[in-house]
Amino acid sequence: MTLLAIDWILLIEKLVLIAIIVFASLGIALYTTFAERKVAAILQDRPGPNRAGPFGLFQPFADGLKLIMKEEIIPNTANRSLFILGPGLAMTAALMTCAVIPWSSHVELFGRNIELQIADINIGILYVFGVVSLGVYGIMIGGWASNNKFSLMAALRAASQAISYELAMGLALIAVLMVSGSLSLKTIVDQQMEPGRLWNVAYQPLGFLIFFICAMAECNRTPFDLPEAENELNFGYHQEYSSMKLGFYLFSEYVNMIMSSAIMACLYFGGFDIPFLNETTLAPNLAAILGVLALLTKIVIFIFIFMWIRWTIPRFRYDQLMNLGWKKLIPLALLNMLVTGAVILYLQG
Amino acid sequence: MSTTEILFFFLTALAIFSAIMVLVSKNPVHSVLWLIAVFFAISGHYILLNAQFLAIVNLIVYAGAIMVLFLFVIMLMNLNAETEPQKHIWMKLAGAISGGCFLMMLVSLVRQASELNGKTALMAEGNIGLIKNLGKALFSDYVVPFEITSVLFLSAMVGAVVIGKK
């Protein structure tokens, strides 16, 4: 079935996969907002949202409905087209990362071998970096188009924070790439699944720590949430936004959190690998389902750690943030890279 | 038309349209955003030529880093459509004519280059743009220029810091 030299079944297969992954990510993000409030409540010894539905489970839908129903305000001095583009860009960039994450091994359905990954490109991890660096635009454009000094200040802070921490993140990543010798996330995960090989975190503990801190900064999570420091900047880059545009900005933070958790799980914690189990002995479909569950478990654990840190540690001052990024993390990441390279050379003889 | 041709014409149209919009936009921020669109279209062309590494590095370095700096400067200087200097019509005409001459020179140079005579672009089969081959070429055949370039970058960085400290 080829028309216009396109394999239409493959196209449909990929479109279905994209739809499932995007909607699943949005669904998880929806409940991450709920989990955030519950975790905050537990850490502060109070019940948290418990009115809408059993255990307050319908709370995210109530929140969403509230945001949609609110009045949509576009300031009359704002740059209208860019004001609307900003939240859309932030959300798109957050969701684009899911294209290269290997969610599990393959399933066999209707005689077709379907890989549970949208695109296994040989530069997978660089693609993630490209998308992350584009995520800055959503914030910068939104902050600038609001035509508000506080928004602009917050947007500039966000951009400089993102650029500073991208550097250390990239350097930490290079050490992983030296260990695995591949840029494809699928290959990196497959290598960690080989019997007799530990997860990458065992070879790169310092690298993982640096990557984790940088991921937290890239997601604008406390203690790195300077772009929305309300006691200095009122509300941050999304001050002028209302209704669902504000919702998109807040929501993209949660999607970003899920994606960076997935990337960390793939790079350092074996992706969809189940510890102490040889997946090749199972039926492929069962192995695939168990793999998805394993990856989701790892993502949930990472998200919980993100929240735990947010509700425990206060925010950095801006100069402390820059000091940590440029004077501590980058030299540490360089050292990590040097040691990794030396050890690899030594082992090769 | 094959898929590659459809994509080629689409990306080309997008690149040319965005490039024109960079020039005609009154607002500098819009110009920068259209320029980012140009980079995306060109990255698409790189992918069609199977140069995935070049494509993504083009996005990370140009669209992701350099354009952010452009935006920084424009936003901080608060440039907008009103502060855009309006040039005289003769200036614009002179610019258009000299630019056209430059384009004609470039086209004739490319057409006459002996390395390009009778060659066609390798669509989706050339592999020089893949990271493995590129890395091998950079670190074996071109290792001295590569290292010299990195020293140059380092000195530029040190220079920027020194100027910034004044």
- Among the partner-chain residues A5, A136, A152, the one whose CB lies closest to the CB of B68 is A136
B29 contact residues in A (CB cutoff 8 A): 79, 82, 141, 144
The helices-and-strands tally (H runs, E runs) of chain A is 13, 4
- The number of beta carbons lying within 10 Å of the beta carbon of residue B155 is 10
Complex-level ipTM? 0.80
pLDDT tens, residue by residue, A281-311: 777 788 888 888 888 999 999 999 988 888 8
Q: What are phi and psi of A57, to 5 degrees?
A: -70, -20
Close Cβ partners of A143 (under 8 Å, ≥ 6 residues apart):
A86, A151, A152, A154, A155, A156, A158, A237, A238
Average pLDDT, chain A: 84
- Best residue of B2, B32, B33, B56 to probe chain A, by most A CBs closer than 10 Å: B56
Interchain CB distance below 8 Å, B64 and A136 = yes
Interchain CB distance below 8 Å, B60 and A144 = no
% chain B with pLDDT above 90: 25
Average pLDDT, chain B: 84
Alpha-carbon distance B87 to nearest alpha carbon in chain A (angstroms) = 25
- Best residue of B52, B54, B130 to probe chain A, by most A CBs closer than 10 Å: B52
Interchain CB distance below 8 Å, B64 and A183 = no
- The number of beta carbons lying within 10 Å of the beta carbon of residue A308 is 13
Which residue ranges make up each domain of chain A? 71-348
CATH number given to B3-129: 1.20.120.1200
Q: Which residues pair with A7 in a beta bridge?
A: A2
Per DSSP, the residues of A280-308 read GGS-HHHHHHHHHHHHHHHHHHHHHHHHH
- Among the partner-chain residues B56, B75, B76, the one whose CB lies closest to the CB of A126 is B56
What confidence score (pLDDT) does residue A6 get?
63
Helix axes A284-310, A243-268, angle to 10 degrees: 120
Going by pLDDT thresholds of 50, 70 and 90, the confidence category of residue A198 is confident
Lowest-confidence region among A42-51, B124-133, B137-146 = B124-133
Residue B102 has pLDDT above 90, yes or no: yes
Question: In whole angstroms, how large is the CA radius of gyration of chain A?
Answer: 21
Close Cβ partners of A147 (under 8 Å, ≥ 6 residues apart):
A75, A77, A78, A79, A240
pLDDT tens, residue by residue, A81-127: 888 888 888 888 888 888 888 888 777 777 777 777 787 777 888 88
- CA-CA distance, A130 to B63, in Å (whole number)? 9
- Among the partner-chain residues B3, B65, B130, the one whose CB lies closest to the CB of A163 is B65
Question: In whole angstroms, how large is the CA radius of gyration of chain B?
Answer: 20
- Comparing A123 with A4, which gets the higher pLDDT? A123
Close Cβ partners of A4 (under 8 Å, ≥ 6 residues apart):
B1, B2, B3, B6
Q: Is B131 on the interface with A (CB under 8 A)?
A: yes
Residue B156 has pLDDT above 90, yes or no: yes
- CA-CA distance, A179 to A125, in Å (whole number)? 14
B28 contact residues in A (CB cutoff 8 A): none
Alpha-carbon distance B89 to nearest alpha carbon in chain A (angstroms) = 28
Residue A1 has pLDDT above 50, yes or no: no
A→B interface, C-beta within 8 Å? 4-6, 79, 82, 121-123, 126-127, 129-130, 133-134, 136-137, 140-141, 144, 152, 155-156, 159, 163, 183
- CA-CA distance, A76 to A254, in Å (whole number)? 30
Which residue ranges make up each domain of chain B? 3-129, 130-166
Lowest-confidence region among A204-213, A232-241, B148-157 = A232-241
Secondary-structure percent of chain B, ordered helix, strand, coil, rounded to 5: 75, 0, 25
